[in-house]
C-alpha cells in the first residue's frame, strides 16, 4: 500500500512539473496576431539600443555608440517611426548615450528622461548640446520613481522608471560610478512585465533588493552586457524571469558564468551578438525571435 502511495505521489509531482514547464513555455509558443507592444534590441555590439513601439507610441531606451546613429535612424524609419515620443537614457557611458545627439537632431523626441548626475565623456556633452538646440523637447532628470502611461490600444500599459535609492553611496567611491547610477525601467503590458536594467552592478542591485519593490518580471534585459557578478544571481532570484535578452557583441560576448546562471534557472536567453532580438506581447502571451543579419 505504501509503495502505491509513493508511486501516486511521484505521478502527481511529475504532472505538476509538466504543467509548470508548460506554463513557462506557453508564452513563447503561441502565435500573437495583434501585439500591443514590440521591443527590439538592436545588434550594436557591446552597447544598448532598444526600441519600444505600440501602434501609436514609440520610444528608445539608450542609443548605442556614436557610430550607431545612422543605423539606428534607418532602423527606426524601416519600422515606420519618424519621431520618438520618449528617449530614455539610462546613464552616460558612451555605449548608452553615444548616438543620442544625432537622433535628437534627426528623429527628435517629445520627451527625454535621464539620471540626475553629470557625465564626463564627450558623448554626454554632445547630448546636452543637442538638447539645448531643441528646446521643444521636454527634459527631466529622474531622482525618484516616475510612472508614465503608454498608449497601447485596449491593453493597459505603463512604464515605471527608478533612480538609485542612495546615489550618495554610489558616488562615494574612487572608481567609476556611472553604471550603478543607471535608471532601471519596468514596463507592465497587461499581465506581462519587462525589466530593463541598464548597467547596474553590485551596489545598485543590493539597493534595489533592499527597497521592497516587487521586481518580478517575465522578461529581463540583463545588466552590463552579460558581465557576471554574484549579485546577478540574487537579481535573477528576485526577478524570476522566463526570458532574458543580453546586449553583447561578437568580440565581447556575455560571460559564461552569466549564461550558466540563466541556464540553471531554465531562463531562455537571446544575445544581440547573434542578431536583432524582437519581443512581442499582446499583454498575455510573449513571443521572442532572433533576426540574423
Cell, residue 145: 520613481
pLDDT of residue 30: 57
Task: Match domain 31-291 to its CATH number in 2.40.50.100, 3.40.50.880, 3.30.56.10, 3.60.15.10.
Answer: 3.60.15.10
pTM of the model: 0.90
The model's pLDDT over 114-154, given as tens digits with 9 standing for 90+, comes to 999 999 999 999 999 999 999 999 999 999 999 999 999 99
Closest CA to 27 of 259, 225, 194, 265: 194
- pLDDT band, very low/low/confident/very high, at 1 (cuts 50, 70, 90): very low
Q: Does the pLDDT at position 86 exceed 70?
A: yes
Average pLDDT over residues 244-262: 97
pLDDT of residue 173: 75
pLDDT of residue 10: 46
Average pLDDT over residues 158-162: 98
Residue 153 φ then ψ, to 5°: 65, -135
- pLDDT band, very low/low/confident/very high, at 3 (cuts 50, 70, 90): very low
Cβ proximity of 245 and 277 under 8 Å: yes
Q: Does the pLDDT at position 293 exceed 70?
A: no
Angle made by CA atoms 36, 40, 42, in degrees to the nearest 5:
175
Average pLDDT across the chain, whole number: 91
CA distance 284 to 94: 36
Angle made by CA atoms 152, 43, 38, in degrees to the nearest 5:
10
Q: Which stretch of 31-35, 135-139, 219-223 has the lowest confidence by average pLDDT?
A: 31-35
Amino acid at each position: 500500500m505504501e509503495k502505491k502511495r509513493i508511486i501516486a505521489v511521484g505521478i502527481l509531482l511529475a504532472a505538476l512539473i509538466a504543467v509548470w514547464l508548460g506554463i513557462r513555455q506557453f508564452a513563447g509558443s503561441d502565435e500573437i496576431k495583434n501585439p500591443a507592444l514590440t521591443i527590439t534590441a538592436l545588434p550594436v555590439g557591446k552597447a544598448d539600443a532598444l526600441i519600444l513601439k505600440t501602434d501609436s507610441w514609440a520610444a528608445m531606451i539608450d542609443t548605442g555608440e556614436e557610430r550607431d546613429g545612422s543605423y539606428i535612424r534607418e532602423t527606426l524609419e524601416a519600422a515606420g517611426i519618424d519621431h520618438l515620443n520618449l528617449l530614455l537614457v539610462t546613464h552616460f557611458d558612451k555605449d548608452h548615450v553615444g548616438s543620442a545627439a544625432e537622433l535628437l537632431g534627426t528623429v527628435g523626441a517629445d520627451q527625454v528622461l535621464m539620471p540626475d548626475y553629470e557625465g564626463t565623456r564627450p558623448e554626454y556633452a554632445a547630448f546636452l548640446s543637442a538638447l539645448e538646440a531643441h528646446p521643444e523637447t521636454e527634459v527631466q532628470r529622474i531622482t525618484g520613481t516616475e510612472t508614465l502611461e503608454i498608449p497601447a490600444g485596449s491593453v493597459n500599459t505603463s512604464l515605471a522608471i527608478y533612480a538609485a535609492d542612495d546615489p550618495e553611496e554610489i558616488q562615494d567611491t574612487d572608481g567609476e560610478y556611472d553604471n550603478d547610477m543607471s535608471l532601471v525601467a519596468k514596463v507592465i503590458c497587461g499581465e506581462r512585465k519587462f525589466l530593463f536594467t541598464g548597467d547596474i552592478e553590485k551596489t545598485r542591485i543590493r539597493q534595489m533588493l533592499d527597497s521592497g519593490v516587487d521586481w518580478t518580471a517575465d522578461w529581463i534585459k540583463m545588466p552590463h552586457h552579460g558581465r557576471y557578478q554574484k549579485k546577478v544571481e540574487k537579481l535573477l532570484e528576485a526577478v524570476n524571469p522566463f526570458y532574458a535578452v543580453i546586449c553583447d557583441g561578437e568580440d565581447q560576448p556575455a560571460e559564461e558564468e552569466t549564461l550558466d546562471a540563466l541556464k540553471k534557472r531554465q531562463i531562455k536567453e537571446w544575445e544581440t551578438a547573434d542578431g536583432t532580438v524582437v519581443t512581442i506581447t499582446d499583454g498575455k502571451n510573449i513571443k521572442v525571435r532572433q533576426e540574423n543579419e
